[in-house]
Chains A and B, each alone.
Chain A
Amino acid sequence: MTTKHKAIALISGGLDSLLAVRVMQEQGIEVEGINFYTGFCVEGHTHAIRNSDKDKQKRNNALWAAEQLGIKLHIVDVIEEYKDVLLNPKHGYGANMNPCLDCKIFMVGKAVQWIQENRKDGFDFIITGEVIGQRPMSQRKQTMPIVAKESGAEDILVRPLCAKNLPATKPELEGWIDREKMYDFSGRTRKPQMALAEKYGFKDYASPAGGCCFLTDKNYSDKLVDLWDARGTREYEMDDIMLLKVGRHIRPKPEFKLIIARDAGESKYLEGYRKQFVTIQIVSHNGPLTMVDGDIKPEDFELAAGVVARYGQGREAEQVEVHISVPGQDVKIMNIKPLTVEQVNEEWHV
Protein backbone atom coordinates (compact mmCIF):
# COMPACT_ATOMS: atom_id res chain seq x y z
CA MET A 1 0.00 0.00 0.00
CA THR A 2 1.39 3.39 -0.91
CA THR A 3 1.37 6.19 1.64
CA LYS A 4 -0.68 9.23 0.71
CA HIS A 5 1.35 12.39 1.15
CA LYS A 6 0.02 15.68 2.26
CA ALA A 7 1.00 19.27 1.48
CA ILE A 8 0.09 22.73 2.69
CA ALA A 9 -0.23 25.27 -0.12
CA LEU A 10 0.11 29.03 0.07
CA ILE A 11 -3.10 30.30 -1.49
CA SER A 12 -3.21 33.93 -2.53
CA GLY A 13 -6.38 33.59 -4.54
CA GLY A 14 -4.58 34.20 -7.81
CA LEU A 15 -4.20 31.84 -10.74
CA ASP A 16 -0.69 30.55 -10.02
CA SER A 17 -1.42 29.08 -6.61
CA LEU A 18 -4.69 27.67 -7.95
CA LEU A 19 -2.80 25.83 -10.69
CA ALA A 20 0.07 24.73 -8.47
CA VAL A 21 -2.36 22.96 -6.15
CA ARG A 22 -4.22 21.29 -9.00
CA VAL A 23 -0.93 19.99 -10.45
CA MET A 24 -0.20 18.37 -7.10
CA GLN A 25 -3.72 17.01 -6.72
CA GLU A 26 -3.29 15.36 -10.12
CA GLN A 27 -0.41 13.43 -8.57
CA GLY A 28 -2.58 12.21 -5.72
CA ILE A 29 -1.29 14.63 -3.12
CA GLU A 30 -3.77 15.67 -0.46
CA VAL A 31 -3.63 19.44 -0.10
CA GLU A 32 -4.88 22.01 2.38
CA GLY A 33 -4.53 25.72 1.78
CA ILE A 34 -3.19 28.50 3.96
CA ASN A 35 -3.74 32.20 3.39
CA PHE A 36 -2.08 34.96 5.38
CA TYR A 37 -3.87 38.22 6.04
CA THR A 38 -1.36 41.04 6.45
CA GLY A 39 -3.86 43.91 6.40
CA PHE A 40 -2.45 45.02 3.06
CA CYS A 41 -4.14 42.31 1.02
CA VAL A 42 -6.23 43.50 -1.90
CA GLU A 43 -9.54 41.95 -1.00
CA GLY A 44 -13.24 42.44 -1.50
CA HIS A 45 -13.55 44.77 1.48
CA THR A 46 -12.61 47.86 -0.51
CA HIS A 47 -15.39 46.91 -2.89
CA ALA A 48 -17.69 46.68 0.08
CA ILE A 49 -16.87 50.24 1.10
CA ARG A 50 -17.23 52.11 -2.17
CA ASN A 51 -20.61 52.67 -3.80
CA SER A 52 -19.14 52.58 -7.29
CA ASP A 53 -18.00 49.03 -6.68
CA LYS A 54 -21.30 47.75 -5.35
CA ASP A 55 -22.04 45.81 -8.51
CA LYS A 56 -18.75 43.96 -8.45
CA GLN A 57 -18.94 40.44 -7.19
CA LYS A 58 -17.93 40.39 -3.56
CA ARG A 59 -15.80 37.39 -2.92
CA ASN A 60 -12.61 36.47 -1.18
CA ASN A 61 -10.46 35.03 -3.93
CA ALA A 62 -8.54 32.68 -1.65
CA LEU A 63 -11.81 31.14 -0.45
CA TRP A 64 -13.04 30.98 -4.03
CA ALA A 65 -9.85 29.21 -5.12
CA ALA A 66 -10.09 26.72 -2.26
CA GLU A 67 -13.66 25.93 -3.20
CA GLN A 68 -12.68 25.36 -6.83
CA LEU A 69 -9.97 22.99 -5.66
CA GLY A 70 -12.12 21.23 -3.06
CA ILE A 71 -9.60 21.88 -0.29
CA LYS A 72 -9.77 23.27 3.23
CA LEU A 73 -8.41 26.77 3.70
CA HIS A 74 -6.91 28.19 6.86
CA ILE A 75 -6.86 31.99 6.94
CA VAL A 76 -4.30 33.31 9.38
CA ASP A 77 -4.20 36.83 10.82
CA VAL A 78 -0.54 37.92 10.69
CA ILE A 79 -1.14 41.67 10.98
CA GLU A 80 1.04 42.13 14.08
CA GLU A 81 3.89 39.87 12.98
CA TYR A 82 3.90 41.42 9.53
CA LYS A 83 4.86 44.82 10.92
CA ASP A 84 8.46 43.70 11.31
CA VAL A 85 8.51 42.45 7.71
CA LEU A 86 7.30 45.80 6.43
CA LEU A 87 9.39 47.98 8.74
CA ASN A 88 12.67 46.05 8.62
CA PRO A 89 12.94 44.16 5.34
CA LYS A 90 16.35 42.50 5.16
CA HIS A 91 16.18 42.43 1.38
CA GLY A 92 14.74 45.92 0.97
CA TYR A 93 11.71 47.26 -0.87
CA GLY A 94 10.56 46.94 -4.45
CA ALA A 95 9.42 49.89 -6.56
CA ASN A 96 7.15 51.07 -3.71
CA MET A 97 6.85 50.02 -0.06
CA ASN A 98 6.57 46.37 -1.07
CA PRO A 99 9.03 44.11 0.76
CA CYS A 100 8.18 41.24 -1.61
CA LEU A 101 11.14 38.96 -1.02
CA ASP A 102 10.98 39.27 2.77
CA CYS A 103 7.22 38.79 2.54
CA LYS A 104 7.59 35.53 0.62
CA ILE A 105 10.24 34.30 3.06
CA PHE A 106 7.95 35.23 5.96
CA MET A 107 4.94 33.44 4.51
CA VAL A 108 6.80 30.27 3.60
CA GLY A 109 8.35 30.40 7.08
CA LYS A 110 4.86 30.61 8.59
CA ALA A 111 3.87 27.57 6.55
CA VAL A 112 6.88 25.70 7.97
CA GLN A 113 5.69 26.70 11.43
CA TRP A 114 2.18 25.51 10.55
CA ILE A 115 3.53 22.09 9.60
CA GLN A 116 5.42 21.88 12.89
CA GLU A 117 2.41 22.96 14.95
CA ASN A 118 0.10 20.52 13.17
CA ARG A 119 2.33 17.46 13.14
CA LYS A 120 -0.64 15.24 13.96
CA ASP A 121 -2.13 16.14 10.58
CA GLY A 122 0.97 14.82 8.83
CA PHE A 123 1.90 17.54 6.36
CA ASP A 124 4.97 16.52 4.36
CA PHE A 125 5.78 19.54 2.25
CA ILE A 126 4.85 23.07 1.11
CA ILE A 127 3.53 24.22 -2.27
CA THR A 128 3.67 27.71 -3.74
CA GLY A 129 2.59 29.04 -7.12
CA GLU A 130 5.92 30.80 -7.68
CA VAL A 131 7.24 31.05 -11.22
CA ILE A 132 10.80 32.08 -12.01
CA GLY A 133 10.84 35.55 -13.53
CA GLN A 134 7.17 36.22 -12.81
CA ARG A 135 7.81 38.97 -10.26
CA PRO A 136 10.75 41.35 -10.50
CA MET A 137 11.69 41.18 -6.85
CA SER A 138 10.62 37.95 -5.22
CA GLN A 139 10.36 35.47 -8.06
CA ARG A 140 13.74 35.38 -9.77
CA LYS A 141 16.16 32.54 -10.36
CA GLN A 142 18.47 33.97 -7.69
CA THR A 143 15.75 34.46 -5.08
CA MET A 144 14.18 31.00 -5.27
CA PRO A 145 16.93 29.37 -3.14
CA ILE A 146 16.93 32.36 -0.78
CA VAL A 147 13.24 31.85 -0.02
CA ALA A 148 13.78 28.13 0.54
CA LYS A 149 16.77 28.68 2.82
CA GLU A 150 15.75 31.71 4.87
CA SER A 151 12.20 30.45 5.45
CA GLY A 152 13.60 27.22 6.86
CA ALA A 153 11.64 25.19 4.31
CA GLU A 154 14.80 24.08 2.48
CA ASP A 155 14.07 21.00 0.33
CA ILE A 156 10.41 20.59 1.27
CA LEU A 157 9.39 23.67 -0.72
CA VAL A 158 7.89 22.65 -4.08
CA ARG A 159 7.01 25.07 -6.88
CA PRO A 160 5.07 22.86 -9.30
CA LEU A 161 4.81 25.50 -12.04
CA CYS A 162 8.57 25.90 -12.44
CA ALA A 163 9.95 22.82 -10.67
CA LYS A 164 11.75 21.58 -13.77
CA ASN A 165 13.90 24.70 -13.72
CA LEU A 166 14.95 24.14 -10.12
CA PRO A 167 16.96 21.53 -8.21
CA ALA A 168 15.00 18.45 -7.20
CA THR A 169 13.27 18.70 -3.83
CA LYS A 170 12.81 16.03 -1.19
CA PRO A 171 9.28 15.06 -2.37
CA GLU A 172 10.73 14.45 -5.85
CA LEU A 173 13.80 12.57 -4.62
CA GLU A 174 11.69 10.42 -2.31
CA GLY A 175 9.31 9.61 -5.14
CA TRP A 176 6.25 11.21 -3.50
CA ILE A 177 5.74 13.31 -6.62
CA ASP A 178 6.88 12.96 -10.24
CA ARG A 179 9.12 15.78 -11.45
CA GLU A 180 8.20 15.00 -15.06
CA LYS A 181 4.57 15.83 -14.35
CA MET A 182 5.41 19.32 -13.17
CA TYR A 183 6.22 22.38 -15.30
CA ASP A 184 9.05 24.64 -16.45
CA PHE A 185 7.25 27.97 -16.68
CA SER A 186 9.40 31.08 -16.57
CA GLY A 187 9.17 34.77 -17.32
CA ARG A 188 6.39 37.30 -17.10
CA THR A 189 4.16 35.80 -19.76
CA ARG A 190 0.86 34.47 -18.46
CA LYS A 191 0.10 32.37 -21.54
CA PRO A 192 1.26 28.99 -20.12
CA GLN A 193 -0.79 29.56 -16.97
CA MET A 194 -3.83 30.54 -19.00
CA ALA A 195 -3.46 27.44 -21.16
CA LEU A 196 -3.19 25.26 -18.06
CA ALA A 197 -6.24 26.96 -16.55
CA GLU A 198 -8.11 26.15 -19.75
CA LYS A 199 -6.99 22.53 -19.53
CA TYR A 200 -8.25 22.25 -15.96
CA GLY A 201 -11.46 24.12 -16.73
CA PHE A 202 -10.80 27.05 -14.41
CA LYS A 203 -12.78 30.11 -15.39
CA ASP A 204 -13.43 33.45 -13.74
CA TYR A 205 -10.17 33.28 -11.80
CA ALA A 206 -8.75 36.43 -10.21
CA SER A 207 -6.10 38.41 -12.03
CA PRO A 208 -5.63 41.62 -10.07
CA ALA A 209 -3.47 44.18 -11.86
CA GLY A 210 -0.37 44.82 -9.74
CA GLY A 211 -0.78 41.68 -7.68
CA CYS A 212 -2.57 41.01 -4.44
CA CYS A 213 -0.95 43.57 -2.13
CA PHE A 214 -1.65 47.26 -1.64
CA LEU A 215 2.02 47.88 -0.90
CA THR A 216 2.84 47.42 -4.58
CA ASP A 217 0.54 50.36 -5.34
CA LYS A 218 2.31 53.73 -5.61
CA ASN A 219 -0.61 55.81 -4.34
CA TYR A 220 -1.08 53.58 -1.34
CA SER A 221 2.65 53.54 -0.57
CA ASP A 222 2.82 57.34 -0.83
CA LYS A 223 0.00 57.64 1.70
CA LEU A 224 1.73 55.22 4.06
CA VAL A 225 5.02 57.15 3.89
CA ASP A 226 3.15 60.43 4.40
CA LEU A 227 1.53 58.98 7.52
CA TRP A 228 4.86 57.88 8.95
CA ASP A 229 6.52 61.21 8.12
CA ALA A 230 3.69 63.21 9.71
CA ARG A 231 3.76 61.17 12.91
CA GLY A 232 7.53 60.94 13.13
CA THR A 233 7.23 57.21 13.72
CA ARG A 234 6.66 54.18 11.53
CA GLU A 235 4.36 52.51 14.03
CA TYR A 236 0.90 51.73 12.67
CA GLU A 237 -2.32 50.09 13.71
CA MET A 238 -4.91 48.20 11.72
CA ASP A 239 -7.20 51.24 11.52
CA ASP A 240 -4.36 53.29 10.01
CA ILE A 241 -3.76 50.90 7.15
CA MET A 242 -7.47 50.45 6.50
CA LEU A 243 -8.06 54.21 6.39
CA LEU A 244 -5.33 54.59 3.77
CA LYS A 245 -7.63 52.66 1.43
CA VAL A 246 -10.57 54.98 2.01
CA GLY A 247 -11.30 58.48 0.69
CA ARG A 248 -9.39 61.40 -0.70
CA HIS A 249 -6.43 62.31 1.53
CA ILE A 250 -5.53 65.99 1.85
CA ARG A 251 -2.93 67.39 4.25
CA PRO A 252 -3.31 71.19 4.51
CA LYS A 253 -0.88 71.31 7.44
CA PRO A 254 1.77 68.88 8.63
CA GLU A 255 -0.13 68.22 11.88
CA PHE A 256 -3.36 66.92 10.38
CA LYS A 257 -4.83 65.22 7.35
CA LEU A 258 -8.38 65.25 6.02
CA ILE A 259 -9.84 61.96 4.82
CA ILE A 260 -12.75 63.02 2.62
CA ALA A 261 -15.22 60.30 1.63
CA ARG A 262 -15.65 59.95 -2.14
CA ASP A 263 -19.17 58.57 -2.00
CA ALA A 264 -21.95 57.55 0.37
CA GLY A 265 -20.38 54.15 0.94
CA GLU A 266 -17.15 55.69 2.19
CA SER A 267 -19.09 58.25 4.30
CA LYS A 268 -20.87 55.37 5.95
CA TYR A 269 -17.61 53.61 6.61
CA LEU A 270 -16.07 56.73 8.17
CA GLU A 271 -19.15 57.11 10.39
CA GLY A 272 -17.73 54.25 12.41
CA TYR A 273 -14.82 56.46 13.48
CA ARG A 274 -16.92 59.37 14.79
CA LYS A 275 -16.28 58.50 18.44
CA GLN A 276 -12.51 58.38 17.97
CA PHE A 277 -11.75 61.21 15.57
CA VAL A 278 -12.71 64.78 14.77
CA THR A 279 -15.21 64.69 11.90
CA ILE A 280 -16.51 67.40 9.58
CA GLN A 281 -19.92 67.24 7.95
CA ILE A 282 -21.43 69.71 5.49
CA VAL A 283 -25.08 70.19 6.52
CA SER A 284 -26.46 72.94 4.25
CA HIS A 285 -25.69 70.97 1.08
CA ASN A 286 -25.02 67.38 0.16
CA GLY A 287 -21.43 66.56 0.89
CA PRO A 288 -19.07 63.89 2.09
CA LEU A 289 -18.24 63.06 5.66
CA THR A 290 -14.65 63.92 6.47
CA MET A 291 -12.44 62.47 9.16
CA VAL A 292 -9.51 64.38 10.58
CA ASP A 293 -6.43 62.29 11.27
CA GLY A 294 -3.84 63.98 13.46
CA ASP A 295 -3.83 66.98 15.74
CA ILE A 296 -6.08 69.75 14.47
CA LYS A 297 -6.23 73.00 16.47
CA PRO A 298 -9.40 75.15 16.69
CA GLU A 299 -7.71 77.90 14.68
CA ASP A 300 -7.40 75.43 11.78
CA PHE A 301 -11.10 74.48 11.75
CA GLU A 302 -11.94 77.17 9.19
CA LEU A 303 -9.21 76.04 6.81
CA ALA A 304 -10.26 72.40 7.18
CA ALA A 305 -13.95 73.21 6.73
CA GLY A 306 -13.14 75.30 3.64
CA VAL A 307 -11.31 72.39 2.05
CA VAL A 308 -14.11 69.96 2.88
CA ALA A 309 -16.76 72.35 1.49
CA ARG A 310 -14.85 72.31 -1.80
CA TYR A 311 -15.88 68.65 -2.18
CA GLY A 312 -19.60 69.14 -1.46
CA GLN A 313 -22.41 70.23 -3.74
CA GLY A 314 -22.21 73.73 -2.29
CA ARG A 315 -18.74 74.28 -3.67
CA GLU A 316 -19.92 77.30 -5.68
CA ALA A 317 -22.08 78.73 -2.88
CA GLU A 318 -21.19 81.90 -1.00
CA GLN A 319 -21.47 80.06 2.30
CA VAL A 320 -22.06 76.55 3.49
CA GLU A 321 -22.88 75.37 6.98
CA VAL A 322 -20.45 72.86 8.38
CA HIS A 323 -20.56 70.91 11.64
CA ILE A 324 -17.33 69.97 13.31
CA SER A 325 -17.59 67.18 15.88
CA VAL A 326 -14.81 66.75 18.38
CA PRO A 327 -15.29 63.60 20.50
CA GLY A 328 -16.57 64.56 23.94
CA GLN A 329 -17.41 68.16 22.99
CA ASP A 330 -20.44 70.05 21.67
CA VAL A 331 -20.71 70.24 17.89
CA LYS A 332 -19.13 73.39 16.51
CA ILE A 333 -21.26 75.06 13.81
CA MET A 334 -19.45 77.13 11.18
CA ASN A 335 -20.59 79.04 8.12
CA ILE A 336 -17.72 79.25 5.70
CA LYS A 337 -16.97 79.98 2.06
CA PRO A 338 -15.65 76.92 0.23
CA LEU A 339 -12.08 77.17 -1.00
CA THR A 340 -11.61 77.43 -4.74
CA VAL A 341 -9.79 74.77 -6.75
CA GLU A 342 -6.71 76.99 -6.80
CA GLN A 343 -6.82 77.49 -3.04
CA VAL A 344 -6.66 73.75 -2.40
CA ASN A 345 -2.93 73.51 -2.95
CA GLU A 346 -1.90 70.65 -5.21
CA GLU A 347 0.84 69.72 -2.76
CA TRP A 348 -1.75 69.07 -0.05
CA HIS A 349 -3.03 66.04 -1.99
CA VAL A 350 -1.38 62.95 -0.56
Chain B
Amino acid sequence: MSQHELDARRMLCPMPVIKTQNKVKELVVGDILNVICTDPGALSDIPAWARINGHTILGHQSNDDELTITVQVGG
Protein backbone atom coordinates (compact mmCIF):
# COMPACT_ATOMS: atom_id res chain seq x y z
CA MET B 1 0.00 0.00 0.00
CA SER B 2 1.41 3.41 -0.89
CA GLN B 3 0.38 7.06 -0.65
CA HIS B 4 0.00 9.28 -3.71
CA GLU B 5 -1.00 12.84 -4.40
CA LEU B 6 -2.84 14.38 -7.34
CA ASP B 7 -2.86 18.10 -8.03
CA ALA B 8 -6.25 19.03 -9.50
CA ARG B 9 -6.14 22.69 -8.45
CA ARG B 10 -7.94 25.16 -10.76
CA MET B 11 -9.54 22.31 -12.67
CA LEU B 12 -13.28 22.44 -12.95
CA CYS B 13 -15.44 19.35 -12.75
CA PRO B 14 -15.41 16.87 -14.32
CA MET B 15 -11.67 17.25 -14.88
CA PRO B 16 -10.74 16.45 -11.23
CA VAL B 17 -12.82 13.27 -11.57
CA ILE B 18 -11.18 12.33 -14.88
CA LYS B 19 -7.71 12.93 -13.46
CA THR B 20 -8.57 10.90 -10.35
CA GLN B 21 -9.99 8.07 -12.47
CA ASN B 22 -6.89 7.98 -14.67
CA LYS B 23 -4.50 8.11 -11.72
CA VAL B 24 -6.32 5.33 -9.89
CA LYS B 25 -5.85 3.07 -12.94
CA GLU B 26 -2.10 3.25 -12.27
CA LEU B 27 -2.48 2.26 -8.60
CA VAL B 28 -3.19 -1.01 -6.84
CA VAL B 29 -5.91 -2.05 -4.42
CA GLY B 30 -5.40 -0.44 -1.02
CA ASP B 31 -3.33 2.49 -2.28
CA ILE B 32 -4.26 5.92 -0.95
CA LEU B 33 -4.67 8.93 -3.22
CA ASN B 34 -4.98 12.49 -1.91
CA VAL B 35 -6.66 14.67 -4.53
CA ILE B 36 -6.15 18.41 -4.03
CA CYS B 37 -8.84 20.49 -5.72
CA THR B 38 -10.24 23.99 -5.76
CA ASP B 39 -13.62 23.28 -7.42
CA PRO B 40 -16.13 22.66 -4.60
CA GLY B 41 -18.10 20.51 -7.04
CA ALA B 42 -15.40 17.87 -6.61
CA LEU B 43 -16.70 17.23 -3.11
CA SER B 44 -19.83 15.65 -4.55
CA ASP B 45 -18.39 14.34 -7.82
CA ILE B 46 -15.33 12.42 -6.59
CA PRO B 47 -17.27 10.58 -3.86
CA ALA B 48 -20.02 9.76 -6.40
CA TRP B 49 -17.42 8.45 -8.82
CA ALA B 50 -15.79 6.43 -6.01
CA ARG B 51 -19.11 4.88 -4.92
CA ILE B 52 -20.06 3.65 -8.39
CA ASN B 53 -16.60 2.34 -9.16
CA GLY B 54 -15.94 0.51 -5.89
CA HIS B 55 -13.45 2.85 -4.21
CA THR B 56 -13.64 4.33 -0.71
CA ILE B 57 -13.50 7.93 0.40
CA LEU B 58 -11.53 8.00 3.64
CA GLY B 59 -12.27 11.66 4.27
CA HIS B 60 -11.77 15.20 3.12
CA GLN B 61 -10.17 18.36 4.50
CA SER B 62 -10.76 21.97 3.61
CA ASN B 63 -7.93 24.45 3.88
CA ASP B 64 -8.59 28.03 2.73
CA ASP B 65 -9.82 27.59 -0.81
CA GLU B 66 -8.37 24.13 -1.24
CA LEU B 67 -9.97 20.81 -0.68
CA THR B 68 -8.14 17.51 -0.19
CA ILE B 69 -10.16 14.37 -0.81
CA THR B 70 -8.64 11.06 0.24
CA VAL B 71 -9.51 8.03 -1.87
CA GLN B 72 -8.60 4.44 -1.13
CA VAL B 73 -8.40 2.30 -4.24
CA GLY B 74 -10.87 -0.57 -4.23
CA GLY B 75 -10.93 -3.86 -6.09
Contacts and interface: CB of A to CB of B under 8 A. Distances in A.
A194 to B, nearest CB: 24
B55 to A, nearest CB: 11
A58 B17 contact: no
A14 B51 CA distance: 20
A43 interface: yes
Contacts of A72: 52-53
Given A73-B49, A75-B21, A58 B14 contact: no
Contact of B10 (A74, A75, A272): A272
A35 to B, nearest CB: 8
Contacts of B15: 37, 77
Contacts of B65: 268
Given A58-B44, A60-B45, A77-B18, A48 B53 contact: no
B40 A64 contact: no
A59 B12 contact: no
B48 A45 contact: no
B48 to A, nearest CB: 4
Contact of A67 (B18, B21, B41, B52): B52
Q: What class of interface size applies to chain A in its complex with B?
A: 20 to 34
A272 B49 CA distance: 26
Contacts of A43: 12-14, 41
A75 B16 CA distance: 11
A45 B13 contact: yes
A58 B47 CA distance: 12
A300 B51 CA distance: 52
Nearest to B53: A72
Nearest to A44: B41
B48 A63 contact: yes
Interface in B20-58: 21, 39-41, 43-45, 48-49, 51-53
A341 interface: no
B52 A66 contact: yes
Given A37-B15, A48-B13, A272-B10, A63 B21 contact: no
Interface centre among B13, B15, B44, B51 (most CB of A within 10 A): B13
A195 interface: no
B54 to A, nearest CB: 8
B14 A37 contact: yes
B39 A48 contact: yes
A317 interface: no
A75 B17 contact: yes
A112 interface: no
B48 A60 contact: yes
Given A72-B52, A73-B52, A37 B18 contact: yes
Contacts of B40: 48, 58
Please indicate which of the listed interface residues A37, A45, A47, A58 has the most CB atoms of chain B within 10 Å of its own CB: A45
A41 B17 CA distance: 14
A268 B10 CA distance: 11
A66 B15 CA distance: 17
B45 to A, nearest CB: 5
Nearest to B17: A75
A45 B39 contact: yes
Interface string B51-73: 11100000000000100000000
A46 to B, nearest CB: 8
B6 to A, nearest CB: 14
Given A67-B51, A67-B52, A72-B53, A45 B41 contact: yes
Given A71-B52, A73-B49, A60 B13 contact: yes
Given A45-B13, A48-B12, A67-B48, 10 more contacts: A44-B41, A59-B41, A60-B13, A60-B14, A60-B44, A60-B48, A75-B17, A75-B18, A77-B18, A242-B12
6 contacts: A44-B13, A49-B12, A58-B44, A59-B41, A60-B17, A75-B18
The 5 A-B pairs at the shortest CB distance, nearest first, are namely A45-B12, A63-B48, A58-B41, A44-B41, A48-B41
